[in-house]
């Protein structure tokens, strides 16, 4: 049986394949593309500000404020019976401010394109 197959190959021989020229059968065409994407960014921002020294401020209207803090000179109203305002702030060493922000940003993008070609 093996010899019969071998003989058939010898009788018919081996033919070679040849490439034929191909001509496109179109004149014009278009290609369109549509792309959609969504990007989500989650951010966490933590900021801590430290104050290493001390600060003291005082201000007011219709009031006598001593030249330096810590003196025994008292604060006094200048026009007795008149309106006055007084503000005093002391900031010691430590955390002076904390900022904590969490935000999510979502960006949606749509791109449409079209290519036209001809021969």
What pLDDT is recorded for position 72? 62
Residue 3 lies in a domain: no
Residue 36 lies in a domain: no
Residue 75 lies in a domain: yes
What's the rounded Cα separation, in Å, for the pair 30 and 76?
88
pTM score: 0.38
Residue 86 lies in a domain: yes
Residue 96 lies in a domain: yes
What pLDDT is recorded for position 68? 58
Residue 69 lies in a domain: yes
> What total number of domains does the chain contain?
1
* 63 C-beta neighbours (distance < 10 Å), count: 16
Which residues, given as ranges, of the chain have pLDDT below 50?
Answer: 4, 6-7
Residue 82 lies in a domain: yes
Q: Say which residue the tokens 């065409």 belong to.
A: 29
């Amino acid at each position: 049986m093996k010899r019969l197959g071998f003989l058939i190959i010898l009788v018919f021989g081996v033919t070679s394949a040849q490439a034929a020229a191909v001509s496109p059968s179109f004149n014009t065409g278009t290609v369109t593309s549509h792309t959609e994407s969504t990007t989500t960014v989650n951010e966490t921002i933590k900021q801590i500000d430290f104050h290493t020294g001390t600060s003291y401020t005082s201000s007011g209207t219709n009031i006598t404020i001593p030249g330096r803090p810590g003196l025994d000179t008292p604060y006094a109203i200048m026009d007795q019976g008149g309106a006055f305002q007084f503000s005093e702030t002391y900031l010691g060493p430590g955390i002076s401010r904390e900022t904590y922000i969490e935000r999510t940003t979502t960006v949606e993008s749509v791109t449409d394109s079209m290519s036209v070609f001809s021969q």
